[in-house]
Structures are given as structure tokens and as C-alpha cells.
Copies of this chain bind each other. A is one copy, B any other.
């Protein structure tokens, strides 16, 4: 292994610049109809359920935290006290490939229950994308071949590791924070209001 102490950090800088460029292009070309549908679904939902495997699961949890701060009734699938999904709920499934087995399986159940399924994926033609009521497309290359997340993980199959450039997880985290920004604008909530609303304890 080379001593890193004198690295010029070219890949470090390039990685951040490529991400910035990717996001800028994403902002220009996003399908805003899918965003409007997602916003309408969120406002209409009784409860919102977020699910994703691995790093997509972490991004989903970061989004769920913000929805909770805004006062929505929101749960992360797989956490301790998450209740059953009902017909009037919205389920948001996050998967770069749209083929992560556990997320596809749970998406199918959400559909059976009659709840509204939103997919956040890079692949609209994937199983998850095709099954969704609203399919949001995050631009980026499609990185894995699907299958079970924990199963691939147990085998050490990390094909979705990307050394450079566009990362589905970062793109989707930026997308989801932009959804939060739009939600706040629609709700007319200023930062100050949020603070007041939440710190007044009675």
C-alpha cells in the first residue's frame, strides 16, 4: 500500500466536483410531475412509511426524521414500534436498482394492502418502479443486480461500491431534502415557527 501522506487528493476533489455537477444537472431535468404527485400523496396520507436496505435505508431514515419534525405521522419499516400499514397510508421504497428483494417484497405487500406506493429509484423499468403508484426517478447509473440485500451482504457481494462519481444515496438524500424544502414552503412554516411550535411544550 502506498503511503498516502503526499497524495494530491485528485480523486477526492474530482469526486466532490462530479457530485456537484450531477446534482446541478439533476435540478435542471427532474420530472416535476412525479414530485408534485409525491407531495400530494404525502399530504393525503394517514401515515407515511419509509423503507430501504443498507445505505438507502439510512437515507430513508434521514428523510423520516425531517417528516417527523414537520409534524407528519411517519414510521421506518423495521423499527421497533412501527405499526401495520393500512389502506390510507403511503409507503416510500428507496432502492437504486429498484430490484432489492426485501424492498420489492414489501412493496408488493403495500400494494396488496391498497396503500399508495412511491418508489425512489434510478430505474423506472425495475420491478419496484413498475409496481409503484408514483415512480420518482433519481438520475444515475444502475448499480446492482438486485437480489436480497442482506443475502448479498452475507456473501460479501459489494458490487454497488462506486469509487467515483454519482452516488444514488447522495442524490436521493439531496432529492429528499429538496422535497422537505418544498413541503416547508407549501406549509408556510418558517424556521422560527418550527422552533416555536416545537419548544412550547404545552
Q: Which residues of A contact B (CB under 8 A)?
A: 1-17, 19-21, 23-24, 26-27, 30, 32, 35-36, 39-40, 43, 54-55, 58-59, 61-62, 64-70, 74-87, 102, 105-106, 109-110, 113-114, 148, 150-151, 153-159, 161-164, 167, 169-170, 173-175, 177-191, 194-195, 198-199, 201-202
Query: Could you tell me the dominant secondary structure of chain A's interface residues?
Result: helix
A11 touches B181 (CB 8 A): yes
Which of B21, B59, B151, B187 is the one whose CB lies under 8 Å from A20? B21
* Contact between A4 and B161, CB atoms less than 8 A apart: no
CA distance A12 to B1 in the complex (A): 44
The 6 closest A-B pairs by CB, nearest first: A84-B156, A156-B198, A20-B23, A16-B27, A15-B181, A15-B178
Other-chain residue from B30, B148, B182, B199 in contact with A7 (beta carbon distance below 8 A): B182
What B residues does A161 contact at CB under 8 A? 66, 69-70, 191, 194
Q: How far is the CA of A21 from the CA of B20 in the complex (A)?
A: 7
Evaluate contact between A157 and B2: CB separation under 8 angstroms: no
Residues of B within 8 A of A173 (CB): 169-170, 173
